[in-house]
């Protein structure tokens, strides 16, 4: 009985610990679950408590002549808006002397800039202030006025780094959600293009947009994507890749169930095909769902050139898929078990090149494939100016060294190099990554068949 009583107490403590609501103590929203009052001093104290040790959040006190010298408080985050614009469009109109004696009841009658909203709860706008919006509180009013004139820091619209084309638009997405939405809307000015806004992340409150064409996309698909986005319950999301993992079904397949792209024209093509697109603030990659195997070998450039050349390019990519996954495995299997399939002149030549090699064909192939992946990863992680040069020079020197030392066969070195290049012709990075790593279990299976 004593043991049972102790167990029940421990179980109750565990349930109490895991049963906290988001607004309870320990939650990131706990300090903000309060209502504004009509006393501006109390409101300022609550806000200063929320933003304690946040030195980039600024509080500006002023009086508004047009509202009988009513006391007001302007709260904003330094670095997320243009101070000159705030002074010109917000502060100056509030401090201006009235031209007549009529009484102004609301600050919105003095301000004509930005998108304006209202809130009576701290938790509804404390995050908006940290995103660059301005909050104005006035004495005698228990409602805050939120003005959106933020100017998010970030780079301009540039050419994409991963999806460069010979022919096609040069614009790519940026890390600013509104800019990315504008790039899509400008190319597809159709009222049937719907944009659903939502916030994901208890702490990050990341702005996410779901785009689809109402009369083209399946509403079952849109509803399913929306439900999965609404079901995300995490502290924060940094990139659309995180969102993709959270909304994808838990399967063992290494292949992507979505497609990511930096190109607005590729997003437009996907929308016209009836797919849904997810854009996230802070990420230059759009998420296209769902994705099928045919999307892995397509590029926007295929639609900008002659159909004959586009078909040839796609055939080369399909050949590349088979080459990256099976070429080294086929070579190993033939050398080990099916050498009678090779003409005698070629088999004698391969035998001469393998003379003195201390490893079996399987071990030799695994070693070379591992070195190839090591060189690829190093070239990605090295600094931009020296990465490509160092990787090319390192591959040449290392390849010449291992052949001279008779650690590997020159023929195998050529086979691995061809497979390495074949992995680079696949436009979709996630699919290319899955196919490249898939060749290792295929290679091991070929060595034991």
The pLDDT of residue 387: 64
- Residue 374 has phi, psi (to 5 degrees) of -65, -45
Question: What average pLDDT is seen over the chain?
Answer: 83
> What average pLDDT does this structure show over 348-366?
85
Do 407 and 345 reside in the same domain of the chain?
yes
Number of domains in the chain: 3
CA distance 424 to 320: 8
Asked if the structure places residue 443 within a domain, the reply is yes
pLDDT reading at 17 higher than 60: no
Asked if the structure places residue 162 within a domain, the reply is no
Q: At what angle do helices 240-247 and 219-230 cross, to 10 degrees?
A: 100
Do 138 and 237 reside in the same domain of the chain?
no
Across-strand partners of 311? none
Q: What is the pLDDT of residues 275-286, one digit of tens each?
A: 999 999 989 999
In percent, the amount of the chain with pLDDT more than 70 equals 88
The pLDDT of residue 31: 47
CA distance 140 to 40: 7
Say which residue, 179 or 152, is predicted with more confidence: 179
List Cβ neighbours of 435 (8 Å cut-off, separation of 6 or more). 321, 324, 325, 423, 426
pLDDT reading at 16 higher than 50: no
Do 322 and 425 reside in the same domain of the chain?
yes
Among the candidates 229, 259, 291, a domain finishes at 291
CA distance 219 to 165: 33
Nearest to 197 by CA among 206, 209, 186, 188: 209
Confidence band, pLDDT 50/70/90 cuts, at residue 398: confident
Whether the bond into 290 is cis, omega within 30 of 0 = yes
Among the candidates 269, 291, 313, a domain finishes at 291
Instruction: Look up residue 88 and give its DSSP letter.
Output: I
Do 214 and 279 reside in the same domain of the chain?
yes
Among the candidates 291, 316, 336, a domain finishes at 291
The pLDDT of residue 391: 66
pLDDT reading at 379 higher than 80: no
> What average pLDDT does this structure show over 158-185?
85
Do 90 and 213 reside in the same domain of the chain?
no
Do 279 and 349 reside in the same domain of the chain?
no
First to last CA, the chain: 61
CA distance 263 to 298: 13
Do 281 and 345 reside in the same domain of the chain?
no
Task: Specify whether the CB–CB gap between 106 and 136 falls below 8 A.
Answer: no
> What average pLDDT does this structure show over 44-71?
89
Report the 10 Å Cβ neighbour count for 67: 22
- Token look-up 């917000």 returns 90
Beta-carbon-side half-sphere exposure of residue 428 (alpha carbons within 13 Å): 26
Asked if the structure places residue 155 within a domain, the reply is no
Asked if the structure places residue 154 within a domain, the reply is no
Q: At what angle do helices 344-353 and 410-422 cross, to 10 degrees?
A: 100
Asked if the structure places residue 270 within a domain, the reply is yes
Confidence band, pLDDT 50/70/90 cuts, at residue 8: very low
Q: Domain range spanning residue 439?
A: 303-448
Do 113 and 57 reside in the same domain of the chain?
yes
Report the 10 Å Cβ neighbour count for 48: 13
Do 274 and 213 reside in the same domain of the chain?
yes
Asked if the structure places residue 393 within a domain, the reply is yes
Confidence band, pLDDT 50/70/90 cuts, at residue 4: very low
- Token look-up 């996630």 returns 430
Confidence band, pLDDT 50/70/90 cuts, at residue 126: confident
pLDDT reading at 310 higher than 60: yes
Do 124 and 60 reside in the same domain of the chain?
yes
Asked if the structure places residue 426 within a domain, the reply is yes
pLDDT reading at 157 higher than 70: yes
CA distance 262 to 37: 46
The pLDDT of residue 385: 65
Do 129 and 225 reside in the same domain of the chain?
no
Asked if the structure places residue 4 within a domain, the reply is no
> What average pLDDT does this structure show over 239-246?
89
pLDDT reading at 101 higher than 80: no
Confidence band, pLDDT 50/70/90 cuts, at residue 288: very high
The pLDDT of residue 100: 67
What is the pTM (predicted TM-score) of this model? 0.77
Do 126 and 83 reside in the same domain of the chain?
yes
């Amino acid at each position: 009985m004593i043991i049972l009583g102790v167990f029940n107490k421990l179980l109750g403590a565990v349930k109490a610990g895991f049963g906290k609501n988001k607004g309870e103590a320990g939650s990131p929203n706990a300090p903000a679950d309060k209502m504004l009052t009509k006393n501006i001093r109390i409101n300022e104290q609550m806000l200063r408590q929320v933003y304690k040790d946040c030195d980039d959040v600024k509080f500006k006190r002023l009086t508004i002549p047009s509202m009988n010298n009513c006391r007001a408080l302007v709260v904003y985050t330094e670095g997320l808006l243009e101070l000159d614009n705030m002074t010109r469009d917000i502060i100056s109109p509030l401090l201006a002397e009235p031209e007549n004696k009529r009484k102004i009841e609301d600050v919105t009658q003095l301000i004509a800039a930005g998108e304006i909203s209202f809130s009576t709860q701290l938790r509804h706008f404390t995050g908006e202030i940290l995103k660059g919006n301005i909050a104005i509180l006035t004495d005698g009013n228990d409602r805050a006025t939120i003005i959106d004139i933020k100017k998010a820091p970030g780079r301009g619209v540039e050419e994409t780094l991963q999806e460069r084309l010979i022919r096609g638009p040069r614009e790519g997405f940026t890390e600013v959600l509104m800019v990315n939405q504008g790039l899509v809307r400008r190319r597809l000015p159709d009222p049937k293009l719907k944009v659903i806004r939502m916030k994901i992340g208890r702490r990050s409150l990341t702005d996410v947009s779901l785009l689809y064409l109402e009369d083209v996309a399946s509403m079952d698909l849109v509803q399913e994507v929306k439900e999965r986005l609404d079901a995300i319950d995490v502290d924060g999301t940094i990139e659309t890749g995180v969102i993709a993992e959270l909304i994808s079904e838990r399967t063992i397949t290494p292949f992507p169930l979505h497609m990511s792209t930096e190109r607005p024209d590729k997003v437009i093509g996907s929308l016209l095909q009836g797919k849904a697109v997810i854009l996230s603030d802070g990420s230059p990659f759009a998420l296209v769902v769902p994705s099928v195997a045919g999307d892995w070998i397509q590029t926007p450039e295929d639609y900008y050139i002659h159909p004959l050349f586009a078909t040839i390019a796609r055939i080369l990519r399909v050949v590349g898929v088979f080459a990256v996954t099976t070429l080294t495995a086929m070579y190993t299997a033939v050398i080990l078990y099916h050498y009678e399939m090779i003409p005698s002149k070629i088999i004698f030549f391969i035998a001469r090149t393998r003379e003195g090699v201390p490893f079996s064909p399987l071990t030799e192939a695994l070693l070379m494939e591992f070195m190839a992946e090591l060189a690829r990863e190093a070239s990605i992680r090295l600094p931009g100016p020296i990465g490509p040069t160092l990787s090319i020079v390192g591959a040449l020197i290392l390849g010449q060294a291992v052949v001279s030392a008779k650690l590997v066969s020159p023929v195998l070195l050529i086979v691995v190099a061809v497979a390495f290049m074949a992995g680079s012709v696949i436009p979709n990075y996630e699919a290319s990554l899955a196919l490249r790593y898939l060749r290792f279990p295929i290679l091991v299976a070929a060595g034991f068949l």
